[in-house]
Amino acid sequence: MTTPTPSAPAAGEEVLEAIGLTKHFPVRRRLRGLFSRTRTAVHAVDDVQLTLRRGRVTALVGESGSGKSTVARLLAQLYPRTAGTIALHGEPVTVRGGRPFRAYARRVQLIFQDPFASLNPVHTVRYHLTRALRVHGNAGRTDADLDAALRRLLERVRLTPAERYLGSFPHELSGGQRQRVAIARALGADPEVLLADEPVSMLDVSIRLGVLNLLRELKEQFDLAILYITHDIASARYFADETLVMYAGRLVEGGDSETVTQRPAHPYTRLLIGSAPDPDRITGDGGADVAERGDGEPPSLIRPPAGCRFHPRCPVAMPRCAEELPPRLEVGDHDGHWTACWLYHPDVTKAGAAAATVGGGAGR
């Protein structure tokens, strides 16, 4: 793991940044469309800006299909992007396979939702961890070095005594233990960034908190920058320092987790938080799993709605919302709290204030 040195960057320092990150997946044309000039594409991610900082968890929250996993895969450089920049410590990076990819993966590791699928069933824990250590040059020179490194990794994810787990195959472990092995494997690279794509959503409710607490401890111990992808906004409040809300491929709100979850500004975030309680939730208060909510459908990402993508479902949409894309606007209640919603444009807030003065009504 990164040992703090006098020149080590301070906690909170920017590690990985996405600027205007965009991914459109081309759609294969049917015979009828072969003669048409228009190319169709799934607009999975559009113009995403985000910054991951040392020692901080950033949650990316949204319903199924909103583009969260695509953001993680783009940040991991597993997909080429359609547009935008990914910068590591301020340096734009684009890598496609080979040695540069390995060097990048040493610093930026991805953890998947399903630890069973991501671990090879025919190999033991020892094999998986040894491979990660070797690929990233952290296995040492002797067998004793390797043994010590393996033990350290398992201790870090609280799988002790190590001997009990090293010879196990994935099917011999519980879901939580498998996810801990997947986390240990990621740590084998000694990364600065962990991209955790729904790391607990496949796990039993009773063990989710344990795995999130482990990630939090690791974040603190090693000053990791963590992107936590989830559809459960309540767990974002519990676990993340900052929360970003994604709808239909675009970010619609962001700020510190307490503010975004307690004083949501965007009508979509409000809907997320106000929806029916979800029995699968990690914590008992507030928030819900939008993927399970019944009201309204996310839009087609092949022909996304003009203006604000949420306007067809929005209970307070104005004519402008269907025409113009809202920019990021300061909400004004807390430093850094922003939303992409016309309700927060100075024109609208001033008109609201005037109406409130005259009639004592109108507000957001």
Should residue 269 be labelled a site residue for ligand ATP when binding is judged by CB under 6 A? no
Task: Single out the residue of 62, 84, 255, 326 in contact with ligand ATP (rule: CB under 6 A).
Answer: 62
Asked if 300 is part of the footprint of ligand ATP (rule: CB under 6 A), the reply reads no
> Least distance in Å: CB of 8 to ligand ATP?
33
Considering only residues 15, 16, 21, 42, which one is a binding residue for ligand ATP as defined by CB under 6 A?
A: 42
The minimum distance between CB 229 and ligand ATP, in angstroms, equals 7
Stretch that binds ligand ATP, among 64-72, 172-180, 252-260, 341-349 (CB under 6 A): 64-72
- Three-state DSSP string of the chain: CCCCCCCCCCCCCEEEEEEEEEEEEECCCCHHHHHCCCCCEEEEEEEEEEEEECCCEEEEECCCCCCHHHHHHHHCCCCCCCEEEEEECCEECCCCCHHHHHHHHHHEEEECCCHHHHCCCCCCHHHHHHHHHHHCCCCCCCHHHHHHHHHHHHHHCCCCCHHHHHCCCHHHCCHHHHHHHHHHHHHCCCCCEEEEECCCCCCCHHHHHHHHHHHHHHHHHHCCEEEEEECEHHHHHHHCCEEEEEECCEEEEEEEHHHHHHCCCCHHHHHHHHCCCCCCCCCCCCCCEHHHCCCCCCCCCCCCCCCCCCHHHCCCCCHHHHCCCCCCEECCCCCCCEECCHHHCHHHHHHHHHHHHHHCCCCC
Report how many residues bind ligand ATP under the rule CB under 6 A. Answer: 13
50 near ligand ATP, rule: CB under 6 A? no
Find the binding residues for ligand ATP in span 218-247 (CB under 6 A): 231
Among 9, 13, 22, 25, binds ligand ATP (CB under 6 A): 25
* Residues in 65-84 at the binding interface with ligand ATP, rule: CB under 6 A: 65-70
Interface stretch with ligand ATP, choices 2-10, 63-71, 273-281, 341-349 (CB under 6 A): 63-71
Q: Which of residues 43 and 237 has its CB atom nearest to ligand ATP in the complex?
A: 43
Could you tell me which stretch among 60-68, 141-149, 170-178, 334-342 binds ligand ATP (CB under 6 A)? 60-68
Q: Which residues bind ligand ATP (CB under 6 A)?
A: 25, 42, 44, 62, 64-70, 231, 301
